[in-house]
A and B are shown apart, each in its own frame.
Chain A
């Protein structure tokens, strides 16, 4: 739900046109040309960097070197800190040597789960032009003049920083007086520093380069004025990936999985925005941002995490590597063939340069390395990975009751029924519409007796109403975000005039978390969970439908510095609230629309307000694959599409696709026709029911996948190259994917399609036949295949909800490989409790294995029943069924 027609109605009829063309209004969002810092960075040409390393300043400690960088054009000094981190990871941090005031850095513990564990750096060589450091099996070469850093894994250069010389660091400065005449510096500077400062000043006066252009101290976009009190403060640098042809990541964009060169478009933009009816396949920003990028080729997988929460743009070019340079620092394979290279250029409006270089070398290694920094997806409670029934809006308690009853009478399982904004008293979150939901607890209990849950929406905008206690409480505690002038910021959202709590402030987050106590949130029960929408935040009358950039947050930061973190903190605080209300005993479930790196720790993400069109079904796969690659593994797209009315075929195919995506929720806009699955014509209803039931049979498998993801940071929904890294034909494949490494899924996303060509990776493994095989897929079939050699746990006794299946027996689907072997595992714990995810933990369950289905073997295998009965223990690794051929 979101920026929708209701909002548009505020703007009168001129916007009617926009609604009718049914696509994004690009005029609402900035292009790079309309953003001062983007334009400044993008206009830089590759070439020699003006920065050199001042070797005299070099300080080496066991796991860190620290050295000053000098801009030879401006004489401004920066400081570079290079850290070795555990797990083939390095950190490159560049800040001003002596900033006028501290530059914003994201507090450790928020996005980074803690201070990263350091790893020794060995000085391998300290020459006149460079210093070479050893980090485990990798080398890091810091060249002095011009400054650049190259990372060499084995003998292969894999990452270069500032190789294009695009480092640009807009140091804090004093606002020039109106009089351009020379005047003494306002603050006397001591000793030799002073000379440099003067030198710098002269340089600047002599060379009024592009930094003197307008837009440094204020900018205007449409009717919005940005006063920019701190002046220019952006940072940018280039990162190249020699030897790579593909890069991935940096969600959220409605884009293919393999990122495209941005030569002829704007750069990819990371700036959390509420985009009404977004367009597909372009680099425009969407609701969330994860500045992490992977480069992958047959030999290795590496990547970077750009630890900056400000508006960020990323340019991507496909080029060839400078073999001449690399031959000096690495023993390159000889030969004249050109080496591909991906050049990327990152720039953010404020903050510091803080790059984590993850050196893999395998896909699963980089995921682990990234999870070590920002955490992994918390194991969701079981109901959260089952089927969710949502709509804007279930009108009242009777409506909820009827939908619940209909799902049962049609024997369609579901776990959660959702309430959108209309359930509240006038969009005052934490309240209920007293006429429509007079006894919410009875309603929740009514579905909970069947093991089901409910979710209500709680958005971060608070109606400015002195009779609304959540608002007055926040106001009285001075917890609201402030406007540029220090007044309580006011904007327009669903309830009309609204204010926003300052979630950047840890105390505000604690306060917010306390609002989920049962005593505070009247009418809630332990079976009620939460959905955070509009948390980019969406401000209907704000620039680009969000906060003004000079909005003031906790600790003297501007929204400019922390914009992409706001939604992250909203979900964090909400998840903490849900955890707290159960005395930390039950794992929370919170869905969010806005997100940042690390959001995976707090719940699920969905791809926002998509459309009920085939193209949007199709794009859901690359979008979710990219989210998975960026750590947000618990993600999904609205099944059926949020806007418009999908036809029965599309709705059916969407259910089939959604049933094999991590977060599986049907949702619809208030203006659409009712489309609960039982309303479909019988033929479609049966197919959809079958798809949902299939999801329930695979829940043990999904739960195990999420468990592995939680332990290792692995993707749940994976590109094929994660499991088959050497198979080049999979590198851009985003219409087919793997769940774990066992199930291959190729959802039908074309209208009228009755079959599809499936690519079966892995030469020595047999799925079905040759590598490209046409498979029939009439409307009732989902092309899903289990890998030979794998065992998938299922529960075939599908009941009304997942928790009613908690003590049901397993069926193991065993697909033998060519050697007649298969292995697999499954994970079992309390499906809700938070304290029980320990694999070594003991426990018991009433579940048993009722059936083994062995596929791919000509005669009965020799299996000991007693061995199988041992499966009653908590966690089984690599149960191998072996038998003779």
Chain B
């Protein structure tokens, strides 16, 4: 492929201008003054062209500098003087395109459109606005200075507070150690005494339980031994339906024998040593005939009695008794059970500690309490230090000028919602008509050289992102949330004006440099 390009100039329009070429600013005019050779050197030095090719509506220079007054070069700039207003460089593509871009209309010299020169009006308006802006800025800037001082004081205060807290904490450490030792000291004898007392009670209880079980075995044996021959035999087991292993309604000899550990009959010794232990949980006294219609109780062990202490009485009886009255009231039943429990506990309750032990316990309680109090204070101090540190570590701007906004909230209400911004904390929204507040984001970070705050990780949007807010901060006389909108679904933007954002206004100049001729 041959790749030689060349350009052919078609149609030559020589501009006939007096003074500096069209579209050139005064400051650049010297670069465009004709030299002796009538040669123009492209401003980037890339080439030279005959002077008459300047502004001939054909782009010669790579940097576009030969066509300051036409649209021929795509990268060129046209300078509008805009006398009375601000001069401006517009893209060459805006020259003679039928849109008035310069207030003096100089960009539309071909007459595609009649541009009214409104630079004077604009200039006047601009100066008024600038004055007003400057006034606001000055005012705001003063406030801002105050805020910064205030913030610095606050910071200092907080730093001092941290120091105090740390000092207190150090002191507390020694005290804590001391209290810890005292606590350990008191708890040793306390434990020993308590253990001793409890061990004694345990042994006593075991003996008593054993005795009780023997008594119950005796009672059962006597009841079972219908013929009072000193043996419980198979035939005496058979009437007890609770021994119906396969639940077929009949206690067979085999079943009876099984309960007697394959014996035809057993005497009391054997009964109490080998049999009773196995059957005591299912054994029931024979009930009188008129109550026999009641279905047999479930065979499962009666777990719900709570205290698995050896049972003093055949336990099932209260459960097969029809529940009185409106028997559906489970609460009542539960209460009953609890009552039973309490009774049992009462009966089996450990006797009080002796006075000596009580004294030891009281001493240990006192030591524990002292330690706990000191420990809590220590943790509180840690918490306070964390809060203060986090406060101090937050970036409040170059001069901490935004610190003043912390712990305040600002609201803005539009047609549908009230938006709330609590700087360095949260942003939220709630419907005007009432309803839930939606979290739009938590404090995230600064962006754009402290001009934008980002709050993110707000409530998730259905089928979308987590909500987030960008807060645009601009200089204003008061702290005020002035606008809230949603450019993309669930990505909000707030406008917030505040003196904190007011920079020092530039010193007014003696002469307006823009009044070029």
A848 cross-chain contacts in B, Cβ below 8 A: 10-11
Q: Give the distance in Å from the alpha carbon of A394 to the alpha carbon of B170 in the complex.
A: 61
Query: Can you name 16 A-B pairs with beta carbons within 8 Å?
Result: A395-B485, A449-B99, A674-B488, A797-B71, A797-B72, A797-B92, A800-B97, A849-B11, A852-B8, A852-B10, A854-B4, A854-B5, A854-B8, A856-B2, A858-B4, A860-B6
Closest to A848 in B: B11
- Asked whether any CB of chain B lies closer than 8 Å to the CB of A865, the reply is yes
| Contact between B98 and A804, CB atoms less than 8 A apart | yes
Q: Give the distance in Å from the alpha carbon of A21 to the alpha carbon of B30 in the complex.
A: 68
A399 cross-chain contacts in B, Cβ below 8 A: 487
Task: Decide yes or no: A674 and B58 within 8 Å by CB, A850-B72, A854-B5, A854-B6 being known contacts.
Answer: no
B12-66 contacts to A (CB < 8 Å): 57-58
Closest A-B pairs by Cβ, 4 of them? A804-B97, A856-B2, A674-B488, A799-B93
A851 cross-chain contacts in B, Cβ below 8 A: 7-10, 58
A625-684 contacts to B (CB < 8 Å): 670-674
B463 cross-chain contacts in A, Cβ below 8 A: 5, 19, 671
Number of chain A residues whose Cβ lies closer than 8 Å to a Cβ of chain B? 47
| Contact between B2 and A796, CB atoms less than 8 A apart | no
* A850: contacting residue among B2, B11, B94, B487, CB under 8 A: B11
**A674-B491, A855-B3 known; 13 other A-B pairs, CB under 8 Å?**
A399-B487, A673-B488, A674-B487, A797-B74, A797-B92, A797-B93, A805-B97, A851-B8, A852-B7, A853-B5, A854-B5, A855-B4, A868-B10
- Residues 479-495 of chain B: 1 if any A CB is under 8 Å from the residue's CB, otherwise 0? 00000011111010000
B3 cross-chain contacts in A, Cβ below 8 A: 855-856
Q: Give the distance in Å from the alpha carbon of A863 to the alpha carbon of B488 in the complex.
A: 56
* B99: contacting residue among A798, A800, A858, CB under 8 A: A800
- Asked whether any CB of chain A lies closer than 8 Å to the CB of B506, the reply is no
B116 cross-chain contacts in A, Cβ below 8 A: none
B71 cross-chain contacts in A, Cβ below 8 A: 797, 799, 808
Q: Give the distance in Å from the alpha carbon of A498 to the alpha carbon of B58 in the complex.
A: 59
Q: Give the distance in Å from the alpha carbon of A854 to the alpha carbon of B3 in the complex.
A: 9
| Contact between B1 and A769, CB atoms less than 8 A apart | yes
- Interface majority SS on B: helix, strand, loop or mixed? loop
Closest CB in chain B relative to A5 CB, distance in Å:
5
Q: Give the distance in Å from the alpha carbon of A411 to the alpha carbon of B91 in the complex.
A: 9
Q: Give the distance in Å from the alpha carbon of A767 to the alpha carbon of B3 in the complex.
A: 11
- Among B1, B10, B94, max chain A CB count under 10 A is at B10
A850 cross-chain contacts in B, Cβ below 8 A: 10-11, 57-58, 72
| Contact between B93 and A798, CB atoms less than 8 A apart | yes
B9 cross-chain contacts in A, Cβ below 8 A: 851
A765-796 contacts to B (CB < 8 Å): 766-769, 788, 796
Q: Give the distance in Å from the alpha carbon of A809 to the alpha carbon of B12 in the complex.
A: 12
B462 cross-chain contacts in A, Cβ below 8 A: 5, 9
| Contact between A395 and B487, CB atoms less than 8 A apart | yes
Closest to A676 in B: B487
B97 cross-chain contacts in A, Cβ below 8 A: 799-800, 804-805
Closest to A868 in B: B10
- Residues 439-467 of chain B: 1 if any A CB is under 8 Å from the residue's CB, otherwise 0? 00000000000000000000001111100
A804 cross-chain contacts in B, Cβ below 8 A: 97-99
- Asked whether any CB of chain B lies closer than 8 Å to the CB of A435, the reply is yes
| Contact between A856 and B93, CB atoms less than 8 A apart | no
- Asked whether any CB of chain A lies closer than 8 Å to the CB of B415, the reply is yes
Closest to A394 in B: B487
Residues of A whose CB lies within 8 Å of any CB of B are 5, 9, 19, 395, 399, 411, 435, 449-451, 670-674, 766-769, 788, 796-800, 804-805, 807-809, 816, 848-858, 860, 863, 865, 868-869
Q: Give the distance in Å from the alpha carbon of A109 to the alpha carbon of B218 in the complex.
A: 114
A805 cross-chain contacts in B, Cβ below 8 A: 97
- Among A395, A797, A857, max chain B CB count under 10 A is at A797
Q: Give the distance in Å from the alpha carbon of A747 to the alpha carbon of B92 in the complex.
A: 31
Q: Give the distance in Å from the alpha carbon of A390 to the alpha carbon of B334 in the complex.
A: 70
- Residues 109-125 of chain B: 1 if any A CB is under 8 Å from the residue's CB, otherwise 0? 00010000000000000
A857 cross-chain contacts in B, Cβ below 8 A: 2, 4
Q: Give the distance in Å from the alpha carbon of A671 to the alpha carbon of B460 in the complex.
A: 12
Task: Decide yes or no: A670 and B489 within 8 Å by CB, A800-B93, A850-B10, A851-B10 being known contacts.
Answer: yes
B415 cross-chain contacts in A, Cβ below 8 A: 435
Task: Decide yes or no: A858 and B2 within 8 Å by CB, A800-B93, A851-B8, A853-B7 being known contacts.
Answer: yes
- Among B8, B58, B92, B486, max chain A CB count under 10 A is at B8
A19 cross-chain contacts in B, Cβ below 8 A: 463
Q: Give the distance in Å from the alpha carbon of A851 to the alpha carbon of B11 in the complex.
A: 9
B487 cross-chain contacts in A, Cβ below 8 A: 395, 399, 674
Closest CB in chain A relative to B441 CB, distance in Å:
15
B84-118 contacts to A (CB < 8 Å): 91-94, 97-99, 112
Q: Give the distance in Å from the alpha carbon of A851 to the alpha carbon of B72 in the complex.
A: 11
Q: Give the distance in Å from the alpha carbon of A855 to the alpha carbon of B9 in the complex.
A: 16
B465 cross-chain contacts in A, Cβ below 8 A: 673
Task: Decide yes or no: A673 and B7 within 8 Å by CB, A797-B71, A804-B99, A856-B2 being known contacts.
Answer: no
B72 cross-chain contacts in A, Cβ below 8 A: 797, 850
| Contact between B74 and A798, CB atoms less than 8 A apart | yes
A5 cross-chain contacts in B, Cβ below 8 A: 462-463
Closest to A856 in B: B2
B98 cross-chain contacts in A, Cβ below 8 A: 451, 804
B6 cross-chain contacts in A, Cβ below 8 A: 853-854, 860
Q: Give the distance in Å from the alpha carbon of A798 to the alpha carbon of B74 in the complex.
A: 7
Closest CB in chain B relative to A672 CB, distance in Å:
7
Q: Give the distance in Å from the alpha carbon of A865 to the alpha carbon of B91 in the complex.
A: 31
Q: Give the distance in Å from the alpha carbon of A411 to the alpha carbon of B92 in the complex.
A: 11
| Contact between A865 and B10, CB atoms less than 8 A apart | yes
Closest to B92 in A: A797
Task: Decide yes or no: A673 and B11 within 8 Å by CB, A798-B93, A800-B93 being known contacts.
Answer: no
Closest CB in chain A relative to B95 CB, distance in Å:
9
Closest CB in chain B relative to A433 CB, distance in Å:
11
Closest CB in chain A relative to B468 CB, distance in Å:
11
Q: Give the distance in Å from the alpha carbon of A854 to the alpha carbon of B9 in the complex.
A: 12
Closest CB in chain B relative to A242 CB, distance in Å:
41
- Residues 287-331 of chain B: 1 if any A CB is under 8 Å from the residue's CB, otherwise 0? 000000000000000000000000000000000000000000000
Closest CB in chain B relative to A882 CB, distance in Å:
15
Closest CB in chain A relative to B39 CB, distance in Å:
22
* B74: contacting residue among A671, A796, A865, A869, CB under 8 A: A796
Q: Give the distance in Å from the alpha carbon of A854 to the alpha carbon of B2 in the complex.
A: 10
A674 cross-chain contacts in B, Cβ below 8 A: 487-488, 491
Closest CB in chain B relative to A114 CB, distance in Å:
41
| Contact between A671 and B489, CB atoms less than 8 A apart | yes
Q: Give the distance in Å from the alpha carbon of A863 to the alpha carbon of B486 in the complex.
A: 60
Q: Give the distance in Å from the alpha carbon of A451 to the alpha carbon of B487 in the complex.
A: 26
Closest CB in chain A relative to B417 CB, distance in Å:
13
Closest CB in chain B relative to A567 CB, distance in Å:
28
Q: Give the distance in Å from the alpha carbon of A399 to the alpha carbon of B461 in the complex.
A: 22
| Contact between B486 and A395, CB atoms less than 8 A apart | yes
Closest to A785 in B: B1
Closest CB in chain A relative to B487 CB, distance in Å:
5
| Contact between B8 and A863, CB atoms less than 8 A apart | yes
A869 cross-chain contacts in B, Cβ below 8 A: 10-11
| Contact between B4 and A799, CB atoms less than 8 A apart | no
Q: Give the distance in Å from the alpha carbon of A853 to the alpha carbon of B4 in the complex.
A: 9
Q: Give the distance in Å from the alpha carbon of A101 to the alpha carbon of B92 in the complex.
A: 69
Q: Give the distance in Å from the alpha carbon of A302 to the alpha carbon of B122 in the complex.
A: 67
B486 cross-chain contacts in A, Cβ below 8 A: 395
B5 cross-chain contacts in A, Cβ below 8 A: 853-855
Closest to A413 in B: B93
Q: Give the distance in Å from the alpha carbon of A450 to the alpha carbon of B465 in the complex.
A: 36
Closest to B11 in A: A848
- Residues 159-183 of chain B: 1 if any A CB is under 8 Å from the residue's CB, otherwise 0? 0000000000000000000000000
| Contact between B491 and A799, CB atoms less than 8 A apart | no
